[in-house]
Chains A and B, each alone.
Chain A
Amino acid sequence: MTQALDELKIGGLGASRKRVEDNRFIRGKGTYIDDIVLPGMLHMEILRSPVAHARIRSIDTSKAWEIPGVRLVLTGEMLASRNLAWMPTLSYDTQAVLATDKVRFQGQEVAAVIADDPYIAKDACEAIVVDYEPLPVIVNPTQALAEDAPVIRDDKENQHDNVVFEWQVGDKEATDRAFEQADVISTLDLHYPRSHPSPIECCGSIADFNRATQKLTVYLTTQAPHIIRAAVALVAELPEHMIRIIAPDIGGGFGNKVPVYPGYVVSILASILLERPVKWIEDKTGNLISTGFGRDIYLHGEMALRKDGKILAVRMHTTSDHGAFYSDAQPSKFRIGLLHSAFSCYDIPVAYLHNRGVYTNKAPGGVAYRCSFRVTEAMYFQERMMHAAANDLGMDQAEFRRINLVRDDDFPHRTAFGFLTDSGQYVKCLDKALEAIGYEDFLKQKEEAKKQGRLLGIGISTMTEPLGAGNSREFDILGIKMFDSAELRVHITGRALLRTGAKTQGQGHETTWAQIVAHELGIPAEDVVVEEGDTDTAPFGMGTYASRSTPVAGAAVAMAARKVRAKARKLAAHLLEVSEEDLEWELGRFYVRSAPERGVSIQEAAAAAYSNMPDGLEPGLEAVAYYDPPNMTWPFAAYVVTVEVDPKTGVWDVLRVVAVDDCGVRINPMIVEGQIMGGLTEAFAKASMQYITFDAEGNCIGSNYMDYLLPTAWETPGFELHEVVTPSPHHPFGAKGVGECATVGGPAAFVNAVLDAIKDTGVRNIDMPLLPHRVYEALTERHDVSGAPPVRMD
């Protein structure tokens, strides 16, 4: 009898397999957008508005045209003549491609130059003269909602104010009744500041329209190539089969590379007009001031509490700042995304959420920055409210959470806002985190330190979040349902090619998808090559964001492999001259139940598919699977952070960070841990330094890496990771999303820790980032510190 395969040795599920993609990246042989050179390629540069709100009196491009090497200068008026000055957004609003009437935010695209090289294109942009008539600027929703506020979107018929939408969810009356029964009502007001995903690589495109074949090929920094193809077909009115989107290696995405940007559209138009490839590579300032941002939402939160610590109800009133165009890149049916996933890990009878979306003179394009849309805000609001409520009750932070966490035997659990959570061991995760950090000891240390005038603090954040959009009932983009896909071709020698509708940007799909095939078929992972990102070859899929790849595309990989296995069974039965029912499967091999030594390996079955198939059986060994998940996956995490605050300066240092993540079955533990550490770093970044704000004139503060602070190896703390495994009950192999958990749940742990350290001041909130001067202000003035952008008083 043959030896059964060792799954870990063939790089299957659970193997910390080294990454395939690294072989090119460590040699500098990746192919990112700006590495691609096409014959006859021209270069595009965009002229952006220096002001946040102004009427355009005139644009004089004559000097730009005079510069040798300039091939084309485009303005909004020229686009308007082709009906391309505006484009539809993913949220059913419109967005200016190049401005015609007004500019509505600093950095808005006003004109574009296409030239022989990027230096010439930049020169020509500087030679364009735009006459702006300044208009009042609004950077704060309070000002936007004032009665006499100027209407930013006066281009829209029937838009007489700056309200984008109003949306509510939950049971308002039952919630109001529950508040009447409360012993204690805890309230909290805060602002989750605007942030930018800021991958190190900016956005870019190379459009290549071939007049002879009528085919448009676009190399694009996109996390969702098929969605872009559909969008380009709709916007440019080109036939979809004549559009090929290729996403090459991508230098980080984090949600920033989901939307359709004006630069992409203009480069496509320029290529069509000039019949030459046109490359557009955004610079860092362009990326930071004009492309998809995250967050920017205000909370007034209320919690109805019983004296014993039980939460009776939650009310959330939120205001979201969408910037100048409502172009949120979110796929749910809910106007404010998944903000109502807040409090999903707690057993709360009733809740109510109301949100108002507002236009301001800021960049458009809210994206799910390393999260499912608005889940990060949801969990931050939740855990900040939990922290305040525990203090209001005079209860221990851990005990208050333990009382309210959903129990292991309560699944499936319907949340107060209507989600269905399906699995988890919440209290176990929390306890594991507390044990790891030495909770009781730290509380003693903290008291000892206080006697010496030192301020120590501990912050807890526990949360479950919905990852893996979607199910097709509730999630779509432009009407296209949120499924995903995989296509597996097993060759005659038993090697395989796998393609999916997802698009890796660092998550390691080339490594991990092959591990799923190894798990399902026993084909060694090194015998499976993975390709993504080319719409002419990959099956239709919705791309990679919202931690959806493993829950959806990864599931499709397993289902495609199972289809292959079903066919291989027929081939094995033919080779062994028995019926299919007489066969058993073990990893990599079918064998005869009554005679286990008689078997056929998956490779032998593959060979037979091309060389020795039975009569009547279609040759070949390939399968395509489209997977529509029955539910989101619900990972759980407990993050605990300890800090020391310097009372003389407001500077705070992280002492320890403990993370316990339960993301179900882990395909590649090494990669999962890499994702968690990356997420924790972004959480630390947002808590400590990283944010975008504006002055009253609408100037973006954070428009370059000198102002937009990101932590380096020097500032970033070390991380201690632990795991609990509760398999997803519906995912084919029990996995849950994980890439974003730490970014979602992490920030509150850092902020709660600092606020715990300064608890004696009575300060309830300091808005992120907790810059030293804000902490110092809280310490010395003993009041909450808002980080909201200014309201203009004139």
Chain B
Amino acid sequence: MTSLFEEIHEAPPADVPTRRVTITVNGQRRTVEIEPRLLLAHLLRHGLRLTGTHTGCDTSNCGACTVLFDGEPIKSCTMLAVQADGHEVTTVEGLAGPSELHPIQEGFRDEHGLQCGFCTPGMMMAAKALLDRNPDPTEEEVRWALSGNLCRCTGYQNIVKAVLAAARKMRGDAPAESSGGTESSGGRESS
């Protein structure tokens, strides 16, 4: 069991109501006792220490907190944790095992789909939801599916490429020529 910021409460006030909820997070059943007002993003980040889910805007606009809720992308900063009772949640930490990478993660790295990295987990979870239901999206479909997620660094072009590259890899198609380079791809011709 865990309360919100477990190691902090030296003398938790007695009159704060709590609820016991059970949530399957990244395939693991977790039972926690929490205040009903606790946001899901905060439970994930602080209670369960899954800090890959970020909070950016508090108003469900930026999408940094996007996780999968029974497979659907949701903004975890505006869902109460108690609403997740009995449901499955997947975070960025659940995309792949510790020593492996999901094709979406590879796509973001290979296509330079991230810079500061803050929006990246939410962006990848939104991409996963898209590719789970549509394995062969057009560029337009990718852009629409990611339109609930803001990025201030990249200008999205490489994010879109990353998702399309991941889709190809997940379908088993031959990879298109990468625009993001490799150690050996070399520089551009100068003029």
Given contacts A28-B93, A723-B190, contact A674 B117 (CB under 8 A): no
User: Are B120 and A26 touching (Cβ within 8 A)?
Assistant: yes
Chain B residues with Cβ below 8 Å from A212 are none
CB distance from A384 to the nearest CB of B (A): 23
Residue among B7, B157, B179, B181 making CB contact with A39, cutoff 8 Å: B7
Query: How far, in whole Å, are A200 and B114 apart by their CA atoms in the complex?
Result: 13
Residue interface bits A663-687, CB-to-B below 8 A is 1, else 0: 0001001110111011111100000
Cα A723 to Cα B191 with chains together (Å):
8
Q: Is the CB of A68 within 8 A of B11?
A: yes
Q: Classify chain B: how many residues form its interface, as a range.
A: 35 or more
Chain B residues within an 8 Å CB radius of A716:
155-157
Complex interface residues of chain B between 163 and 181 (CB less than 8 A to chain A): 179-181
**A666–B187 CB distance below 8 A:** yes
A671 to B158: give the CA distance in the assembly, Å.
Answer: 11
Given contacts A119-B35, A712-B147, A712-B149, contact A677 B158 (CB under 8 A): yes
Instruction: Confirm or deny: B92 has a beta carbon within 8 angstroms of a beta carbon on chain A.
Output: yes
- Contact mask A683-727 → B, CB, 8 Å, 1/0? 000000000000000000000111000101110101100011100
CB atoms of B152 and A116 under 8 A apart: no
**B132 contacts A by Cβ under 8 Å:** no
Shortest A651–chain B CB gap in Å is: 17
Q: Which residues of B contact A718 (CB under 8 A)?
A: 157
Contact of A713 among B10, B147, B182, B184 (CB under 8 A): B147
Q: How far is the CA of A360 from the CA of B153 in the complex (A)?
A: 31
B188 touches A22 (CB 8 A): no
A25 CA / B121 CA spacing, docked (Å): 8
A15-B187, A119-B4 given as contacts; is B118 within 8 A of A252 (CB)?
A: yes
Question: Which chain A residues border B114 with CB–CB below 8 Å?
Answer: 19, 22, 25-26
In the complex, whether A772 has a CB less than 8 A from a CB of chain B is no
Taking a contact as CB atoms under 8 Å apart, the answer to whether B183 and A9 are in contact is yes
Query: Is A252 in contact with B152, judged by CB distance below 8 angstroms?
Result: yes
0 or 1 for each of A182-210: is its CB under 8 Å from B? (1 = yes): 00000000000000001111100000000
Is A251's CB under 8 angstroms from B156's CB?
Answer: no
Write out the residue numbers on chain B whose beta carbons fall within 8 Å of the beta carbon of A678: 115, 152-155
How close is A705's CB to chain B, nearest CB, in angstroms?
Answer: 4
Nearest opposing residue in chain B for A197, CB measure: B152
Assembly CA distance A202 to B46 (angstroms): 17
Q: A16, B118: Cβ atoms under 8 Å?
A: no
Given contact pairs A712-B148, A713-B142, A725 touches B184 in the complex (Cβ within 8 A)? no
Contact A69 B13 (CB under 8 A): yes
User: What's the Cα separation between A76 and B33 when bound, in Å?
Assistant: 38
Question: Which stretch, A127-135, A478-486, A502-510, touches the partner chain B?
Answer: A502-510
A201 touches B93 (CB 8 A): no
A200 in contact with B112 (CB, 8 Å): no
Complex CA distance for A674 and B159, rounded to whole angstroms: 11
Contact B108 A674 (CB under 8 A): no
> A199 — which chain B residues lie within 8 A by C-beta?
116, 118, 152
A298 → B minimal CB distance (Å)? 27
Tell me if B157 and A200 are in contact (CB < 8 A). no
A29-37, A490-498, A630-638: which lies at the interface:
A29-37
Docked pose: A251 CA to B51 CA in angstroms: 13
Q: Check: A473 CB closer than 8 A to any chain B CB.
A: no
Given A18-B182, A723-B190, check contact A27 B92 (CB 8 Å): yes
Docked-complex contact B64 and A16, CB < 8 angstroms: no
| A116 CB contacts on chain B under 8 angstroms | 5, 8-10
CA distance A11 to B183 in the complex (A): 5
Residues in A with CB closer than 8 Å to B4 are 117, 119
Q: Are A18 and B183 in contact (CB under 8 A)?
A: yes
A460: CB under 8 A from chain B?
Answer: no
CB-based contact A681/B112 at 8 Å: no
Task: Answer yes or no: A8 CB below 8 A from chain B CBs.
Answer: yes
User: How many A residues touch B, CB cutoff 8 Å?
Assistant: 81
Q: Which of A31, A119, A202, A508 has the most CB of B within 10 A?
A: A119
Contact B54 A32 (CB under 8 A): yes
Closest Cβ of chain B: how far from A241's Cβ, in Å? Answer: 31
Q: Is the CB of B119 within 8 A of A200?
A: yes
Query: What B residues does A21 contact at CB under 8 A?
Result: 117
Nearest CB in chain B: distance from A614 CB, A = 36
Say yes or no for B29: interface residue by CB 8 A criterion. Answer: no
Chain B residues whose CB sits within 8 angstroms of the CB of A201 once the complex forms: 54, 56, 64, 116, 118
- In the complex with contacts A32-B118, A710-B150, A713-B159, A15-B109 CB distance below 8 A: no
- Residues of B within 8 Å of A670, CB to CB, are 112, 179-181
If A16-B180, A28-B92, A251-B54 touch, whether A669 touches B156 (CB-CB below 8 Å) is no
Report whether A252 and B116 are in contact in the complex, using a CB–CB cutoff of 8 Å.
yes
Report if A19-B57 is in contact (Cβ < 8 Å); known contacts: A670-B180, A723-B188.
no
Contact with B along A744-774 (1 / 0, CB 8 A): 0000000000000000000000000000000
Q: Complex formed: what's the CA distance from A283 to B154 in Å?
A: 23
B51→A119 contact, CB < 8 A: no
Q: Mark contacts of B64-98 with chain A using CB atoms, 8 A cut-off: 1 yes-contact digit, 0 otherwise.
A: 10000000000000000000000000011101100
Measured in the bound complex, the distance between the Cα atoms of B110 and A333 in whole Å is 43
CB pair A19 B187 closer than 8 Å: no
Is A23 interfacial (CB-CB < 8 Å)? yes
Contact residues, B1-53 vs A (CB, 8 A): 4-5, 7-11, 13, 35, 37-38, 45-46, 50-53
- Bound-state Cα–Cα, A783 to B168, Å: 51
- In Å, the complex CA distance between A22 and B143 comes to 22
* Inter-subunit contact B155/A200 (CB<8 Å): no
Q: Give Cα distance in the complex from A157 to B182, angstroms.
A: 61
CB distance from A500 to the nearest CB of B (A): 18
Q: Does B146 contact A (CB under 8 A)?
A: yes
Q: A69-B13, A706-B61, A712-B146 are in contact. Are A26 and B101 (CB under 8 A)?
A: yes
Interface residue B160 (Cβ < 8 Å from any Cβ of A): yes
The residue in chain A whose Cβ has the minimal distance to the Cβ of B116 is: A506
A17 on the B face (CB < 8 A) = yes
A63 CA to B179 CA, complexed, in Å: 59
Q: How many angstroms between the C-alpha atoms of A719 and B159 in the bound complex?
A: 13
A714 near B144 with CB under 8 A, answer yes
Asked if A506 and B151 make an inter-chain contact with CB atoms under 8 angstroms apart, the answer reads no
> Taking the nearest CB of chain B, how far is it from the CB of A708, in angstroms?
9
| Interchain CB contact (< 8 A) of B117 among A11, A30, A253 | A30
**Cα–Cα distance between A200 and B63 once the two chains are bound (Å):** 10
| Most chain B CB atoms below 10 A, which of A666, A671, A678 | A678
A669 to B181 CA separation, bound complex (whole angstroms): 9
Q: Are A17 and B190 in contact (CB under 8 A)?
A: no
* Residue among B10, B95, B182 with most chain A CB within 10 A: B182
Interface string of B134-148 (1 = CB under 8 A from A): 000000001110111
Task: Name the residue of chain A whose CB is nearest to the CB of B157.
Answer: A677
**Known interface pairs A18-B109, A681-B155. Does A284 touch B150 (Cβ–Cβ under 8 Å)?**
no
Q: Which residues of A contact B51 (CB under 8 A)?
A: 28, 31-32, 34-35
Q: How far is the CB of A734 from chain B (nearest CB, A)?
A: 11
Question: In the docked arrangement, what's the CA distance between A18 and B109, Å?
Answer: 7
Residues on A with C-beta less than 8 A from B184 are: 8-9, 15
For this complex, 30 residue pairs linking A to B, each with C-beta atoms less than 8 Å apart, are: A8-B186, A11-B183, A13-B187, A14-B187, A16-B181, A22-B114, A26-B101, A26-B105, A28-B51, A28-B53, A31-B51, A37-B7, A37-B46, A39-B7, A42-B8, A117-B8, A119-B35, A200-B119, A200-B150, A201-B64, A202-B56, A251-B117, A284-B58, A671-B112, A673-B112, A705-B61, A713-B159, A714-B147, A716-B155, A719-B155
The 4 closest A-B pairs by CB, nearest first: A28-B52, A16-B181, A14-B187, A251-B118
Q: Report A's interface with B, CB cutoff 8 A.
A: 8-9, 11, 13-19, 21-32, 34-35, 37, 39-43, 68-69, 116-117, 119, 198-202, 249-254, 283-285, 505-508, 525-526, 666, 669-671, 673-675, 677-682, 704-706, 710, 712-714, 716, 718-719, 723-725
Beyond A16-B182, A119-B35, A249-B117, 16 extra complex contacts between A and B, CB < 8 Å: A8-B184, A18-B180, A22-B109, A34-B51, A40-B8, A119-B37, A199-B116, A200-B64, A284-B57, A666-B187, A670-B112, A681-B155, A681-B156, A705-B62, A712-B149, A723-B188
